């Protein structure tokens, strides 16, 4: 297995050997195949740890989710792979705290008789925990669930401050770690956008959302935006009152321009569909 190659050729000078030790999410109709792995030989890439488990996300078009009828599986896995790599590198300062550590991108060679094919993968830190969709909220006291939601808000806000928009923030993409302290990690950056808007290549649209400026959760996580709706099974308290109490100290940072950008409109109060992203 080697690092991501230059276009048109493969480089094996920094190859490593990994062993797949456990399945996390595998099978057909998956946007990636996910395994727990261990590096057996890192002599060519000494920055890859050999004393700990990692997670390998393999972007194999053969097992792609074909429910997206209008999507070419090769384009689909390439989109997820390139966006996830770019997001991890862009968010290097948040690795190990808000998101897992990123150990690089590689090309995996799969032998098929006399032939072979190459698929992309990334290696990231293995977080000793479970995703929220695999946990029972009833097993967590309200105070702990509130702390989890606060860490989710803080984590997502940290990504946004770094100009990364996570387009799939939901329970399956939140890992809860319960060791000596409670830890919350955001994963699956394959649908992320490096930018404040859904079209960051449009300078005018991007500038509108004030790149690089920290935005108070009082605006972006207001109940009318319904970001919390994806976590409704974990929330049994009045959201808006709780949010305002938790982030009261950020109110002074909100400018008139920010209030105009994240204004509350009548149509938002009436909407019943999924929450908007911006």
pLDDT of residue 268: 60
Token digits of residue 63: 């097992």
Triad 5, 113, 42: Cα angle to 5°: 40
Separation of CA 99 from chain center: 7
Which band of pLDDT confidence, cut at 50, 70 and 90, is reported for residue 277?
very low
Q: Is the pTM of this model over 0.95?
A: no
pLDDT of residue 5: 44
Token digits of residue 19: 């062993």
Is pLDDT of 86 > 60? yes
- pLDDT digit string, tens, across residues 35-61: 999 999 887 778 899 999 999 999 998
d(CA 125, CA 113): 33
pLDDT of residue 57: 97
CA diameter of the chain: 66
Alpha carbons within 13 angstroms on the beta-carbon side of residue 126 total 21
- pLDDT digit string, tens, across residues 191-243: 999 999 988 999 999 999 999 999 999 999 999 999 999 999 999 999 999 99
**Nearest one of 179, 189, 201 to 155, comparing CA atoms:** 189
- pLDDT digit string, tens, across residues 129-165: 999 999 999 999 999 999 999 999 999 999 999 999 9
Q: What are phi and psi of 139, to 5 degrees?
A: -85, 0
Q: For the chain, which domains are there?
A: 2-125 (3.30.200.20), 130-270 (1.10.510)
Which band of pLDDT confidence, cut at 50, 70 and 90, is reported for residue 275?
very low
d(CA 217, CA 194): 19
Is pLDDT of 30 > 50? yes
């Amino acid at each position: 297995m080697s690092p991501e190659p230059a276009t048109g050729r493969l480089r094996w000078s920094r190859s490593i050997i990994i062993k797949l030790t456990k399945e996390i999410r595998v099978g057909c109709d998956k946007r990636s195949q996910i395994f727990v792995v261990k590096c057996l030989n890192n002599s060519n890439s000494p920055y890859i740890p050999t004393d700990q488990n990692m997670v390998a996300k393999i972007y194999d078009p053969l097992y792609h989710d074909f429910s997206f009828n209008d999507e070419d599986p090769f384009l689909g896995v390439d989109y997820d792979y390139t966006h996830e790599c770019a997001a991890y590198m862009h968010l290097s300062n948040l690795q190990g705290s808000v998101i897992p550590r990123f150990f690089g991108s590689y090309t995996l060679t799969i032998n098929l008789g006399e032939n072979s094919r190459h698929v992309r993968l990334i290696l990231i830190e293995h977080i000793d925990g479970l995703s929220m969709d695999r946990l029972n909220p009833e097993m967590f006291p309200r105070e702990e669930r509130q702390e989890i939601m606060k860490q989710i808000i803080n984590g997502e806000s940290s990504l946004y401050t770094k100009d990364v928009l996570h387009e799939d923030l939901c329970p399956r993409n939140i890992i809860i770690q319960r060791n000596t302290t409670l830890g919350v990690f955001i994963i699956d950056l394959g649908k992320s956008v490096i930018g404040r808007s859904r079209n960051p290549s449009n300078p005018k649209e991007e500038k509108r959302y004030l790149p690089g400026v920290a935005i108070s959760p009082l605006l972006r996580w207001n109940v009318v935006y319904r970001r919390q709706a994806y976590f409704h099974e974990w929330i049994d308290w009045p959201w808006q009152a709780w949010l305002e109490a938790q982030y009261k100290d950020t109110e002074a940072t909100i400018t008139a321009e920010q209030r105009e950008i994240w204004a509350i409109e009548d149509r938002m109060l009436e909407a019943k569909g999924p929450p908007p992203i911006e």
